[in-house]
Amino acid sequence: MEKKLYVGGIPYSTTEESLTEAFAQAGAVESVKIIMDKMTGRSRGFGFVEMAGEDDAKKAMEMWDGKEFEGRTLVVNEARPMESRDGGDQPAA
């Protein structure tokens, strides 16, 4: 079962390909997605890496969390489920 990781502190010049190569050092990478700003088209400095399994994900966190990558320090941890954007339990207007 794949494990999704949150990756913060990604340099703005980093490509999904270079991030894939870096995380592949820890194990099998299923997918990589760097989040882009809709207005500017520029990287927002964070993204998600899906590793093939729990062991690969743990190894990737140990290998990259707090480590320098292309001039910036990465923050790598287990991704949390996306929260609803509808305002939660507030009544509809």
Least confident of 9-13, 35-39, 62-66, 84-88: 84-88
CA 50 vs. chain centroid, Å, equals 8
d(CA 37, CA 82): 18
Paired tokens of 57: 């994900």
Res. 88: pLDDT tops 70: no
Domains by residue range for the chain, with CATH: 3-78 (3.30.70.330)
pLDDT higher for 1 or 93? 1
Q: Please write the tens of the pLDDT for every residue from 35-61.
A: 999 999 999 999 999 999 999 999 999
Paired tokens of 75: 């923050």
Res. 1: pLDDT tops 70: no
